[in-house]
Amino acid sequence: MGYVASARERARENFGRAGEFLSEMRRKIHREGGWTDLEKQPIVSLRDIAVSFDGETVLKDFNLGIGDGAFVTLLGPSGCGKTTTLRIIGGFVRPDAGDVFFNGKKITGLPPHKREVNTIFQKYALFPHLNVYDNVAFGMRVHGKSEREVKAKVGEMLGMVNLKGFEHRNVNLLSGGQQQRVAIARALANEPKVLLLDEPLGALDLKLRKDMQVELKKIQQQTGITFLFVTHDQEEALSMSDEVVVMDKGAIQQIGTPPDIYNEPKNAFVADFIGESNILDGVMREDFLVEFAGRKFRCVDRDFRRDEPVDVVIRPEDVDIVPPDGEHLAGVVRNVTFKGVFYEIIVDVQGFKWMVQTTEFERAGAEIGLSVRPDEIHVMHKSKYSGTFGDYSTFSDEMDEDSRPAGGEAR
């Protein structure tokens, strides 16, 4: 009995250690860029890919592995190379350098129809002269499936996307959301191993978009098909994905789970692109001690060089407002916007404008103190993005940009 118990104990201990090792490996690989999910074998990998169009580099030194069965999202501003990445995997673009692997086999030169990959585009590209049933059946018929098989599969797929009873409808008369469901059913009916989705919800209004996000996620979980999803909407990426690949200017900036990306941004670009961030110039004095805004703060970061110049990220929701007591950072409220659940205020601290989200009302002109807990201070190495983002001085300009239709450059 005692022996069994201690063996079990030992096994548990070893198991725990293996788990820790695996998590540490994952964290390390995430930090250094590379695979999306180490626990899942990559089904698709891109190695050392480079692409340029008309002499202009679109992707460079691009390395990415997509975990089998994962929901992975490419997120980045317009023109960063998301669609190009999908087109390389789909076989529609041949890279100038590098290779594409599918389950470990090189498929770089394989034509699109021989890849076990299907694509759903933002514009649904349904066949306008075919009804719903025939659209979904199309691929199976091309592959010579019997009408009995086709009928069963079309029924199953239309059930999955909630379009039972729509078989004989004219696709041109369906709503945008319904057309997109047909496109999803049509792609899934071919039983691809990987589904590439290029901003598939971009044309839908917000309410429908949210519903479809939930449905798509459910379909991915039910079918176990690997989804590679493209969006420039960070909220969509965070809420749907197992892993997010943040891109800018043809290069991967960070790969990680949504909480990793939000809580541990790797550089000022990621911190700025995902949510709101105050990004301050700082100096890492020693392990767990960082200086910014003229003061020293305890933090939880370590392993920086002594006196290394750094970027310090503080999220607006992590700043507490305290009385101006001379002990805390002091600032003056410049602007207050009611956001429903909280107030968003802009606070001038020695000329640097912080964004703070608070449930307490503060009036413009009020002098306040700002307090931040050590674990809410996130220290990053300097990067080429340092100094570009993170001060809310030009906030009114940014609000104008935010209210523009989707598809524009990130600020």
Q: Which residues bind Mg ion (CB under 5 A)?
A: 83
Nearer Cβ to ligand ATP, position 323 or 407? Answer: 407
Instruction: Give the total of residues touching ligand ATP (CB under 6 A).
Output: 12
Nearer Cβ to ligand ATP, position 61 or 147? Answer: 61
From the centroid of its chain, how far is CA 250?
15
Q: CA 42, CA 64: separation in Å to the nearest integer? A: 9
3-state secondary structure of 370: strand
Q: Per this entry, what is the length of the chain? A: 411
Nearer Cβ to ligand ATP, position 79 or 176? Answer: 79
Q: Is 81 in the site for ligand ATP (CB under 6 A)?
A: yes
Q: Of Mg ion, ligand ATP, none, which one does residue 232 interact with (CB within 5 to 8 Å by kind)?
A: ligand ATP
Q: CA 138, CA 150: separation in Å to the nearest integer? A: 9
Could you tell me the smallest distance in angstroms from the CB atom of residue 140 to ligand ATP?
Answer: 30
Q: CA 145, CA 155: separation in Å to the nearest integer? A: 15
What secondary structure does DSSP assign to 4-27, as a single string? HHHHHHHHHHHHHHHHHHHHHHHH
Could you tell me the smallest distance in angstroms from the CB atom of residue 101 to Mg ion?
Answer: 23
Nearer Cβ to ligand ATP, position 84 or 190? Answer: 84
Stretch that binds ligand ATP, among 71-79, 208-216, 318-326, 372-380 (CB under 6 A): 71-79
Q: Is 80 in the site for ligand ATP (CB under 6 A)?
A: yes
- Asked if residue 104 lies in contact with residue 65, where contact means CB atoms within 8 angstroms, the answer is no
What secondary structure does DSSP assign to 168-208, as a single string? T-BGGGS-HHHHHHHHHHHHHHT--SEEEEESTTTTS-HHH
Among 42, 44, 49, 82, binds ligand ATP (CB under 6 A): 82
Q: Of ligand ATP, Mg ion, none, which one does residue 40 interact with (CB within 5 to 8 Å by kind)?
A: none
Q: Of Mg ion, ligand ATP, none, which one does residue 6 interact with (CB within 5 to 8 Å by kind)?
A: none
* Interface positions, 48-67, toward ligand ATP (CB under 6 A): 53-54, 58
CB burial of 251-272 (b: ≥16 within 10 Å; e: otherwise) equals: ebbbbbbbebbbebbbbbbbbb
Amino acid, single-letter form, for residue 11: A
Nearer Cβ to ligand ATP, position 67 or 76? Answer: 76
Q: Is 234 in the site for ligand ATP (CB under 6 A)?
A: no
Q: Is 84 in the site for ligand ATP (CB under 6 A)?
A: yes
Q: Is 380 in the site for ligand ATP (CB under 6 A)?
A: no
Could you tell me the smallest distance in angstroms from the CB atom of residue 180 to ligand ATP?
Answer: 17
Nearer Cβ to Mg ion, position 56 or 303? Answer: 56
Name the token pair of 326.
């001379």
Among 79, 275, 324, 369, binds ligand ATP (CB under 6 A): 79
Q: Is 34 in the site for ligand ATP (CB under 6 A)?
A: no
**Terminal CA-to-CA distance of the chain, rounded, Å?**
65
Could you tell me the smallest distance in angstroms from the CB atom of residue 359 to ligand ATP?
Answer: 35
Could you tell me the smallest distance in angstroms from the CB atom of residue 230 to ligand ATP?
Answer: 7
Nearer Cβ to Mg ion, position 38 or 246? Answer: 246
> Where are the strands (E) in 68-116, listed by range?
71-75, 97-102, 105-106
Helix axes 147-160, 176-189, angle to 10 degrees: 130
Beta bridge partners of 278: 314
Q: CA 300, CA 6: separation in Å to the nearest integer? A: 36
Site for ligand ATP, rule CB under 6 A: 53-54, 58, 76, 78-84, 232
